Chains A and B, each alone.
Chain A
């Protein structure tokens, strides 16, 4: 039976870049276990001879002529920015303390 521990949820949250509170971790671990248990039935349904389908329709590359055309103005692009400076997105520091 698949089981997902509190530590595993914390690790997954870390990978997904979400700070979960202690209470959220307590709450989520058992819920995810129940969900995983109910979807575990899928294991073994299809054998090696069945190809996977990632998409309902056959996909082909779509091309267009490489023509210059107007895009968003800097003002439009920055409109929803939480912070901006000199026509640029202002972001918190990217490098950690040790770098």
Chain B
């Protein structure tokens, strides 16, 4: 089997099952690819990874091969390597959340998602780059330098999970894990031409996920195909007693749904086009690719209805009050006392714990993190609480009601995933509002806890860059995402004559220095 990095995870799993290749070969091929194209932020490489664990990954691959040889693979994906966003705790492997305050921190335990990956036999290639503490839409807020979009190295890969999306798009990993608080799996998926899934809130454990905003955060798959996401989702999903918000119900059959969808039949499926997600502020090329996707769903037998979710226009504002409020509270634990970076204040003789805390937090946090901590502190302060935070929580109720009404008329809702294709690095860095607008279409799902998938919808005419179509389903109906997503993917791949990522420009190899 040649070109191991070009295969999907499902293909690799089949090849492993058929004895055509080994996990060591597959893992080594991806480690080689990382060495060839990843480079560093400074060298101009993709810089999808913050830490690569070649030795650990190969040891896990050897163990996977031994299990196969003994006829007892641990799961369907046993031996297929994966990359993990650096916001999930990995025992023995650095976890920094893209922040200087956690530089060099090595957790003494695994996040449940990571433990499940290990149990299922997926070798962990390394940890992927991200916006600091998952705050951002471009991965430019990483303290370790930005990740670059494999489609155009001068552009952003989306955020905050730009590293995970870029690793998959650049063929450095067949699979990756991301986390999605306001769109951080789906939006990077859209701008890199990959598939990203935000499962139902509570459907995948958050134990060991360094919290940004507990009521919104959700880990999920980043892959090149819808089927691969379903396979990975079944590995990481399901109830976890270590997470009190984890849903104590079995997952619906996701892989079956994806396989069923791949036959291309959407007869009887009611698809709702959300009127409020697709007008002003959306790039024309993104909108025309979206319309094309809707037409293909109709061709596949779906019935399309327009639905209105009138409170979605307030989602962004509610999100940018709730998120900083929860973040300011969550990040209080970074106090330089028990772990993390400790910085002594200048000129203070025998400084107090509080002085050390202040100096450490100033030195350890980047601009965006400070901005959101201050904003959250403001939103929660007395006198403003009712006007801002309290109102935001009420708007959340209205958005959930909008979803409930829309799901009476439609089985799934669709929209473009992100309003634009990837913008240039640096372009929006000094304009937080422009940056926040990127999450316009993805945020309502996080506020209401419903699941969503982004499927590549093609290339925008004006710039030739990938766009994505988002499919949303009611809570716990994640299987609908996979059925509709796979049907759409099948129709689109047919139309393009192959996977979209085959059209991405080849990356310079060896050192990735331009």
Contacts and interface: CB of A to CB of B under 8 A. Distances in A.
Nearest to B363: A19
A91 interface: yes
B337 A91 contact: yes
Contact of A80 (B338, B362, B390, B449): B338
B202 to A, nearest CB: 5
**Do most interface residues of chain A lie in helix, strand or loop, or is the interface mixed?**
loop
Interface string B347-367: 000111111111101100101
A94 interface: yes
Interface in A46-99: 46, 50-57, 59, 61-62, 64, 72, 76-77, 79-83, 89, 91-96
Given A46-B391, A80-B105, A20 B362 contact: yes
Contacts of B350: 92-93
B447 interface: yes
Contacts of B362: 18-21, 24
B377 A28 contact: no
Interface string B388-413: 10111111111010000000000000
Contacts of B377: 12, 15-16
Interface in B106-143: 106-109
Contacts of B396: 52-53, 56
B342 interface: yes
A93 B355 CA distance: 10
Interface stretch (B26-34, B265-273, B315-323): B315-323
Contact of B388 (A39, A62, A83): A39
B4 to A, nearest CB: 36
Contact of A45 (B353, B381, B395, B432): B395
Interface in B1-54: none
A42 B244 contact: no
Given A57-B247, A92-B356, 15 more contacts: A8-B378, A12-B381, A17-B332, A19-B359, A32-B378, A35-B375, A39-B320, A41-B314, A50-B398, A52-B397, A53-B393, A56-B396, A80-B106, A81-B338, A82-B336
